[in-house]
Structure 1
């Protein structure tokens, strides 16, 4: 690969532009798509909020949960850079971070997923390595035809929706039993805005509203954050015999949990003390000591 090709990756507007680019640089002189850049803020902040609320659980039970959520924050930063510059490097980092979010999500949450065959639990390390290797190969393919990456990621959301619905409906946790429908409604609306921005840009320019991709960011960010809330609850409940924490889902600002309310986990410690070391799979701790009594 020549140095000229690599240099082109970092040039302004060498990547795919969205409909808002018709008004590029009008709000800020160095930001191509201002609304598309700004609306990544929830994608950056919300995973960090969940990490902060679960910090005690992460420190004492399963630190692995932090990695896919940090990757979601990284994706928000990458997307901000991409839409600010519209260069190919930003586009590829944005798309590749999504691929790795999916991979790290599977690596971390596979042990508590209902669909994962229990007979493979003893080969969990091998399963994880195979997942990482496949993702590395897919990452290389992303460089061949960058314009197809976004479409491929959208198509992957179909099997992801099937897994999401299965895990939510079989979790046995009342607080998250509506989450699959919630996530699918948000993602369905987000995909509609993404698709409309990509194919009907001339119509939105005629109306003077080329900001549908920005709305996609807001809806997709809330959907992704909700998925992490859902699987964090599953992880906490699945490992409940091995730690001293209890959790419940709350909503802000609408306490009744409307679709646009932000769910969050209220984490509390039980009155007895449980010392737990990190373990490879739920129900199989390396070391478990319990001391009952007052804290």
Structure 2
């Protein structure tokens, strides 16, 4: 029985050819496509800092877990080891569980899926964009698993690396959506304004929130 640390000790193997560019990296593109996690994690921590300081400093843990998820995913695809697979999957579960524990609803959650929340055009736009990105990401993931022979036939077996990039974009959108909904219950005297990095006028960017006083009532 191979060691859990051994290369290719995992039963999971993605469509990308193994060791195509290096004897040390099993899946080259699937490994280095995780770089977006290392960029978006610290960047969103900086952009969301005013919100984090007023809402909960535990959100810093969420950003750390997001970055760690990218690190473990990189390790998994570099080695295709059983340990890498377990670390990758556990990190994802911890990330999801941590986000839920921080934004645990106090009443009627997830109300943003109802009409009373989607009347907010900004929130509705974020939901729509994040849904499209997630759908594209999921399509890339499932296509890599189910249509591998086709992608190898046309010499384009890198859809799982595209999944990494797209799914890393859904994290900022999902976080801002939850922050907007959560503020209705937990920060009723604050107004959260959605901004986009690097510029609001760009057609695509990373969303974040700015804080403001509003003295609104629930």
- Interval of TM-score (by shorter of Structure 1 and Structure 2): 0.7 to 0.9
Distance apart, 1:250 and its partner CA: 2.4
8 Å Cα contact 1:257/1:263 also seen in 2: no
Structure-2 separation of matches of 1:34 and 1:202: 19
The 3 A distance-change label for structure 1 pair 168 and 200 is farther
Structure 1 counterpart of 2:192: 247
Query: Does residue 1:208 correspond to 2:208, yes or no?
Result: no
Work out which of the residue numbers 3, 12, 22 in structure 2 matches 1:8: 3
Distance apart, 1:65 and its partner CA: 2.2
Structure-2 separation of matches of 1:253 and 1:228: 17
Work out which of the residue numbers 34, 53, 57 in structure 2 matches 1:40: 34
SS of structure 1 residue aligned to 2:194 = strand
Bigger radius of gyration, 1 or 2? 1
8 Å Cα contact 1:251/1:264 also seen in 2: yes
Structure 1 counterpart of 2:208: 265
SS of structure 2 residue aligned to 1:178 = helix
The alignment's C-alpha RMSD in Å is 2.9
Query: Does residue 1:189 correspond to 2:136, yes or no?
Result: yes
Structure-1 separation of matches of 2:60 and 2:111: 19
* Greater RCO (Cα-Cα under 8 Å, separation 6 or more): 2
Distance apart, 1:62 and its partner CA: 1.6
Q: Deviations over 1:76-105 (max 9, x none)?
A: 111011001110111111111111212111
Structure 2 counterpart of 1:93: 87
Structure 2 counterpart of 1:54: 48
8 Å Cα contact 1:197/1:212 also seen in 2: yes
Distance apart, 1:253 and its partner CA: 5.6
Structure-2 separation of matches of 1:168 and 1:38: 41
Structure-1 separation of matches of 2:173 and 2:115: 12
Question: What's the TM-score once normalised by structure 2's chain length?
Answer: 0.84
8 Å Cα contact 1:193/1:213 also seen in 2: yes
Distance apart, 1:75 and its partner CA: 0.7
How many aligned residue pairs are there? 215
The 3 A distance-change label for structure 1 pair 171 and 27 is same
Structure-2 separation of matches of 1:59 and 1:18: 40
What stretches of structure 1 of length at least 5 have no aligned partner? 116-162, 272-282, 284-295
What pairs up with 1:151-166 in 2 under 5 angstroms? 166=113
Structure-2 separation of matches of 1:214 and 1:255: 28
The 3 A distance-change label for structure 1 pair 70 and 27 is same
